[in-house]
Amino acid sequence: GNSVTQMEGPVTLSEEAFLTINCTYTATGYPSLFWYVQYPGEGLQLLLKATKADDKGSNKGFEATYRKETTSFHLEKGSVQVSDSAVYFCALSTDSWGKLQFGAGTQVVVTP
């Protein structure tokens, strides 16, 4: 079956540090890939997405590239801020109706 594996957290960083969150997937067919972010006490917000191999999704300084050869979709940001503290979820969708399968989430804590 399909699955998403994320690096475990928490990831603790200082402000302006470089952030990488690893995400790998197993799927039949050609999934669409997503990163969602969940701030404390809130629902999920779409951060970025990519729908085919070599696509790069980007938003708010975050980037992720769909790597079919390594089945990965790692999230990166060059300089994090305290406001980036949240839980980040990698997800995939393989059907035409958009059902999402999520990883377990990675908590990121950015300190001043």
Query: Please, which residues bridge with residue 101 across strands?
Result: 92
In the 8-state DSSP scheme, what is residue 22? Answer: -
Q: Which of 13, 21, 23, 49 binds other proteins (CB under 8 A)?
A: 49
Pick from 21, 35, 103, 108 the residue near other proteins by CB under 8 A: 103
Measured CA to CA, the distance from residue 72 to residue 33 in angstroms comes to 9
100 binds other proteins (CB under 8 A): yes
* Nearest-approach distance from CB 78 to other proteins, in angstroms: 25
Nearest alpha-carbon partner for 46 in 98, 81, 112: 98
Rounded CA separation 77/73 (Å): 13
The CA distance from 19 to 96, in Å, is 32
Stretch that binds other proteins, among 12-20, 62-70, 72-80, 94-102 (CB under 8 A): 94-102
* Among positions 36, 62, 66, 73, the unique one binding other proteins when judged by CB under 8 A: 36
8 binds other proteins per the rule CB under 8 A? no
Chain contacts with other proteins (rule: CB under 8 A): 4, 32, 36, 42-46, 49, 89, 91, 93, 95-105
